[in-house]
């Protein structure tokens, strides 16, 4: 299955890869970013995480020529600190995260991520976990449905959609993506249905984030990642929607801002505690025109990079 890695050149360039360095790819996917990074290594090594077993299998094929330089780990990147400790790794030279769902996951009808294909409601990145979209749609209380649609989908018609879901499932379970799309359409006013874009986009995003606890994983995983960095090490994160980008932006800002000091205190400048990180990218890096033309997914991509001082 063809997959084009987003902001590939910019990510690898801004990581400032050392040939003998230890690196982490927290979201291996099909190995696009990993392969580009490994090509710059001599004696260095990459530890690559993914909770999707299919992604690991396909990456093993795609990276067959350089498997001696990569260790693949079936786990969420939120567990990278614990997993790396098992390999005796206490600090690393760089970490990259390409967040969200990969194009192959979206394009596989059986995974239930997309409203473009009719499939059982699933949306699990890790197919060994129990909770899936079917359980959420058919089992969550209405107030909880409203909450995730508002918080994770930023859906203005969250209450109407949640009510429609509850009414429909009282008649029979909502089992497939197309059945859910029909319910969403029934809950929206005609003016919304006439707008550009798919009416189910925000609801599907909200369900996917809830199924995979994506924002919880990002908050813990990113915090651990920054603590794992060596002096001079960098962390690069690609986001695809405002909820992710806000978390990354705020955490990077927090880590790169010196603690507040009361101006009236008699402390010399050299005695003041300094920030332990600095921003490599002051603003998010976006895809250039050539990439935008070739890869539609890159339109929403934002890359931010931070370095430990």
Distance CA 308, CA 232 (A): 5
For the residues 9-24, what does the mean pLDDT come to?
A: 98
Distance CA 36, CA 83 (A): 23
- Residue 91: which residues within 8 A CB-CB, separation 6 or more? 22, 228, 229, 230, 233
**Model pLDDT, residue 2:** 47
For the residues 107-125, what does the mean pLDDT come to?
A: 94
**Domain edges within the chain:** 8-98+214-308, 113-212
pTM above 0.85, yes or no: yes
For the residues 130-154, what does the mean pLDDT come to?
A: 98
Contact 45, 73 (CB under 8 A): no
Contact 71, 46 (CB under 8 A): yes
**Model pLDDT, residue 1:** 40
Count of C-beta atoms within a 10 Å radius of residue 44: 18
Is a pLDDT exceeding 90 seen at residue 202? yes
**Model pLDDT, residue 175:** 98
85-89, 100-104, 125-129, 213-217: which has the minimum mean pLDDT? 100-104
For the residues 159-171, what does the mean pLDDT come to?
A: 98
**Model pLDDT, residue 272:** 57
Count of C-beta atoms within a 10 Å radius of residue 164: 20
Is a pLDDT exceeding 60 seen at residue 269? no
Contact 26, 78 (CB under 8 A): no
CA atoms within 13 A on the CB side of 277: 25
| pLDDT digit string, tens, across residues 29-57 | 999 999 999 999 999 999 999 999 999 99
Fold type of domain 113-212: DNA polymerase; domain 1 (1.10.150)
Kind and range of the H or E run holding 215: helix 214-228
Is a pLDDT exceeding 80 seen at residue 15? yes
For the residues 130-137, what does the mean pLDDT come to?
A: 98
Distance CA 96, CA 99 (A): 10
What is the DSSP annotation of 93-150? EEEEEE-S--HHHHH-GGG---TTS--BS---SSTTSS--HHHHHHHS-HHHHHHHHH
Domain 8-98+214-308 has CATH 3.40.50.150: yes
């Amino acid at each position: 299955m063809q997959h084009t890695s987003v902001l590939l050149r910019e990510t690898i360039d801004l990581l400032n890869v050392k040939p003998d360095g230890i690196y982490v790819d927290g979201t291996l996917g099909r190995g696009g970013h990993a392969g580009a990074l490994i090509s710059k290594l001599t004696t260095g090594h990459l530890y690559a995480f993914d909770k999707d077993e299919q992604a690991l299998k396909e990456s093993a094929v795609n990276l067959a020529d350089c498997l001696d330089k990569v260790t693949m780990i079936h786990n969420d990147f939120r567990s990278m600190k614990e997993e790396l400790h098992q390999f005796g790794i206490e600090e690393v030279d760089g970490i990259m995260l390409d967040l969200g769902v990969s194009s192959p996951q979206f394009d596989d009808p059986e995974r239930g991520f997309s409203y473009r294909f009719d499939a059982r409601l699933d949306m699990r990145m890790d197919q060994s976990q129990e909770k899936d979209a079917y359980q959420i749609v058919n089992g969550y209380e209405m107030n909880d449905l409203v909450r995730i649609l508002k918080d994770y989908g930023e859906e203005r018609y969250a209450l109407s959609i949640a009510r429609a879901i509850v009414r429909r499932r009282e008649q029979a379970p909502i089992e497939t993506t197309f059945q859910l799309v029909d319910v969403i359409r029934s809950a929206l006013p005609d003016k919304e249905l006439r707008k550009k874009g798919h009416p189910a986009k925000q609801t599907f995003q909200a369900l996917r984030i809830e199924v995979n606890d994506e924002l919880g994983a990002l908050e813990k995983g990113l915090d651990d990642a920054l603590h794992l960095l060596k002096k001079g090490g960098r962390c690069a994160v690609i986001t695809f929607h405002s909820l992710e980008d806000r978390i990354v932006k705020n955490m990077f800002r927090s880590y790169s801002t010196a603690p507040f000091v009361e101006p009236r205190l008699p402390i010399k400048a050299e005695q003041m505690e300094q920030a332990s990180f600095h921003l490599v990218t002051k603003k998010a890096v976006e895809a250039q025109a050539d990439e935008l033309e070739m890869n539609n997914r890159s339109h929403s991509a934002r890359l931010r990079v931070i370095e430990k001082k």
